[in-house]
């Protein structure tokens, strides 16, 4: 919305990545763009395998060793070098990962969230955060395998809330949550954005993206195909420019459930 | 007809998750189920599919109690594909566990032949989930449980997966329980929708 005058937190332009694998070179990502301002929530939607999660890994610098990347990637105007990424990771830039095996299975969740909470008033802060995300205090003493998928998502959200990061990248943070919990989780992220952080929300939940994000970016096959205001997702999708974006909108169960992909 | 008959369950040293929960699913019937995160939906799914024994109650098909079948007649399609697929097997080996899988079914689910020689970590979450669905359908079991199986898909793939899954299920008169938080989806695809809390006696002390 009025984000143009705000500080650019993250700028990714023409990002590409190839994977070298047993002699073959795989072109995984061709050209992705992403701009995030302070106070802005940008939702990334698109097909599975479009490169959304890879981009997230690239921003925090956790790509596999055989990845070769090109293009511009800057945080607050500084090129994101390996060294800068190592400094920012977990401090200024934090990733809420998608895979539920990202938690250490041998350590209680309370302890794992605690790593992100500062030393000051640690116990009290932890309690507050668990309450905020809707997890019972008893969950702190539990191990990851004892939690449901939805509870696990809340643990990741707790880690994001505990952090002081300026940029939060949330990869499918509401997968497996009920509607109330989705609204609560995204409401928390929205508040963080309003307080000056930048949020990247990778999601398939278009309705939630439309409700909470300012800007929606659409990726397909490793390319950016549309960047648009969230409000343009309405009616029968007339305000959306790209046929794939319109097809996504019209594939929702409430909008026709049409299984046609104009890209194939 | 699949009967879930007065089933109760609690994890050790925890309060009852649910008590006397009952549900029936007819042949050819698609039943939707929703309820809060952490309320026990996935645990119930595991009980019906035979992964966990209920502390009380039983699961029957018609009048037969289910015990030790070679291919269990209720197949669970899991929520997190990455956790239930052997990470060191090629995808074709994973599919070889399902005897009734046809080429047609694979293409119906959008599985590309080039994926068969890959390992799980080389596929995206959505791609893995297609294998997960194929593996379950390929058992030819009479009943299926789909536990939040398309929340990792984009809207178009989601519509595609459901159109092809429903086609298989309807054609062969399978019964299916669909667990999802997406009520719009349940309204679209199910014959009947139930709320988890209405199935059981709530008891949380």
* pLDDT for residue A99: 67
Q: What is the pTM of this model?
A: 0.83
For residue A208, pLDDT beyond 80: yes
State pLDDT tens for residues A129-187: 999 998 999 999 999 988 877 788 889 889 988 999 999 999 988 877 888 889 999 99
* Cβ–Cβ under 8 Å, residues B112 and A132: no
State pLDDT tens for residues A108-135: 999 999 988 888 888 999 999 999 998 9
* Chain B residues with CB-CB distance to A147 below 8 A: 38
Q: Do A253 and B42 touch (CB under 8 A)?
A: no
Q: What is the C-alpha to C-alpha distance for residues A44 and A29, in angstroms, rounded to an integer?
A: 15
* pLDDT for residue A196: 95
Of the candidates A146, A176, A254, the beta carbon closest to that of B184 is on A254
Between B201 and A2, name the one with better pLDDT: B201
Q: Do A49 and B127 touch (CB under 8 A)?
A: yes
Residue of A nearest to B162 (CA): A259
* Chain B residues with CB-CB distance to A247 below 8 A: 156
Average pLDDT on B25-54 reads 93
* Cβ–Cβ under 8 Å, residues A36 and A3: no
Question: Could you tell me the pLDDT band of residue B205, with boundaries at 50, 70 and 90?
Answer: very low
* pLDDT for residue B68: 64
* pLDDT for residue A203: 93
For residue A100, pLDDT beyond 80: no
pLDDT averaged over chain B? 89
Distances (CA, A) of B161 to A99, A132, B79: 21, 35, 14
DSSP for A118-151 reads -STTHHHHHHHHHHHTT--GGGGGS-GGGS-HHH
Please state which of the four CATH numbers 3.90.550.10, 3.40.50.300, 2.40.340.10, 1.10.540.10 is assigned to the domain occupying B2-199.
3.40.50.300
Q: Do B152 and A175 touch (CB under 8 A)?
A: yes
* Cβ–Cβ under 8 Å, residues B146 and B77: yes
Between B173 and B66, name the one with better pLDDT: B173
Of the candidates B37, B152, B184, the beta carbon closest to that of A172 is on B152
């Amino acid at each position: 919305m009025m984000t143009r005058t705000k500080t650019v937190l993250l700028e990714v332009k023409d990002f590409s990545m190839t994977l070298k694998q047993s002699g073959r070179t795989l072109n995984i990502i061709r050209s992705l763009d992403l701009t995030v301002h302070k106070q802005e929530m940008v939702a990334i939607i698109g097909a599975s395998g479009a490169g959304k999660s890879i981009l997230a890994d690239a921003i925090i610098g956790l790509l596999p060793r055989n990845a070769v990347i090109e293009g511009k990637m800057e945080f607050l105007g500084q090129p994101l070098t390996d060294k800068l990424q190592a400094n920012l990771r977990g401090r200024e830039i934090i990733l809420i990962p998608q895979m539920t095996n990202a938690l250490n299975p041998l350590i209680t969740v309370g302890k794992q969230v605690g790593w992100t909470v500062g030393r000051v008033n640690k116990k009290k802060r932890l309690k507050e955060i668990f309450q905020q995300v809707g997890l019972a205090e008893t969950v702190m003493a539990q191990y990851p395998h004892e939690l449901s998928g939805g509870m696990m998502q809340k643990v990741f959200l707790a880690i994001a809330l505990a952090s002081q990061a300026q940029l939060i990248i949330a990869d499918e943070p509401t997968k497996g949550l009920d509607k109330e919990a989705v609204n609560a989780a995204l409401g928390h992220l929205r508040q963080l954005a309003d307080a000056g952080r930048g949020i990247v929300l990778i999601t398939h939940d278009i309705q939630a993206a439309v409700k909470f994000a300012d800007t929606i970016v659409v990726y397909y096959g490793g390319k950016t195909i549309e960047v648009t205001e969230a409000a343009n997702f309405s009616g029968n999708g007339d305000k959306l420019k790209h046929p794939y974006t319109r097809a996504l909108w019209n594939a929702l169960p409430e909008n026709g459930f049409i299984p046609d992909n104009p890209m194939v | 007809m699949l009967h879930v008959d007065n089933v109760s369950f609690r994890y050790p040293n925890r309060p009852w998750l649910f008590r006397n929960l009952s549900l029936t699913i007819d042949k050819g019937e698609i039943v939707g189920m929703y309820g809060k995160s952490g309320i026990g939906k996935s645990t119930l799914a595991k009980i019906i599919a035979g992964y966990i024994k209920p502390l009380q109650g039983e699961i029957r098909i018609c009048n037969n109690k289910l015990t030790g079948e070679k291919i269990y007649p209720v197949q669970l399609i899991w929520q997190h594909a990455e956790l239930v697929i052997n990470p060191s097997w090629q995808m074709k080996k994973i599919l070889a566990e399902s005897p009734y899988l046809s080429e047609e079914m694979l293409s119906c689910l959008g599985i590309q032949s080039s994926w068969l020689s890959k390992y799980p970590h080389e596929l995206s979450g959505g791609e893995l989930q297609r294998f997960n669905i194929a593996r379950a359908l390929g058992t030819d079991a009479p009943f299926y449980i789909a536990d939040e199986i398309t929340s990792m898909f984009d809207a178009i793939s989601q519509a595609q997966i459901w159109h092809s899954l429903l086609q298989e299920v309807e054609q062969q008169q399978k019964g299916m329980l669909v667990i999802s938080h997406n009520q719009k989806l349940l309204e679209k695809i199910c014959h009947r929708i139930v709320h988890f809390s209405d199935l059981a006696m709530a008891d949380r002390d």
